Amino acid sequence: MLDAVEPDSELGRAEKAVEKAHEALDHERHRIVTLPGHDGKLTAADQEADRQALSEADRNALRGDAQYQQAMRELGTMKQQHSRLRADYLKQDSEWVAAEKAHRDAKRGEAQAAKQVSTAIKKAAPARRQLRSAEQVAAAARAAIAQGEARLRQLGVKNVGSASSKAQAAKPKTLK
């Protein structure tokens, strides 16, 4: 749908204005800071490479330059106008409106699901802690019993078996 925008339409002119504002900002950046020039049309990759090449001193120089700051403000204004016009243009298409509503609803559902997961995790935390605590107590009890049995064997006591086998023997057997 956006591919069909005519260059002389209001949205097309706004796109051109954003492009020119980017070029003006790039010109100001190159005026203030020594950066290599660009071949042909300015691209997003060129802009990112310029940003990456800036030192802290370069950034401070740009922050302090009134013309550069003005070019940044103008770019921001052009982007806002373009964004508003683009949204208005897209809202004219009923399919886009329906898709945008579905997207919003899906995001809302995703956020609610994430909240429910978070709530469930918080509610389960005390039970997990209690389970870990009970497992630790059981492990400590098994270790103490094993130590006691080992000590009894050292003392020569006969018929010392493991606690688990005695527990099995003590259970009443049911008839089938």
Are residues 15 and 47 located together in one domain of the fold? yes
Residue 94 — very low, low, confident or very high, per pLDDT cuts 50/70/90?
confident
Average pLDDT, the chain: 84
173: confidence class by pLDDT, cuts 50, 70, 90: low
- Assess contact for 160 and 149: CB atoms under 8 A: yes
Residue range of the domain that includes 125: 94-146
Residue 25 and residue 68 in one domain: yes
Q: Looking at the domain assignment, is residue 174 inside a domain?
A: no
* 111 and 45 together in one domain: no
Give Cβ neighbours of residue 69 (< 8 Å, ≥ 6 apart).
Answer: 63
Number of domains observed in the structure of the chain? 2
Q: Which of 7-21, 43-57, 76-90 is predicted most confidently?
A: 76-90
Residue 162 confidence class, pLDDT cut points 50, 70, 90: low
CA-CA distance, 26 to 46, in Å (whole number)? 9
Residue, of 165 and 20, whose pLDDT is higher: 20
pTM above 0.75, yes or no: no
Q: How far apart are the first and last CA of the chain?
A: 77
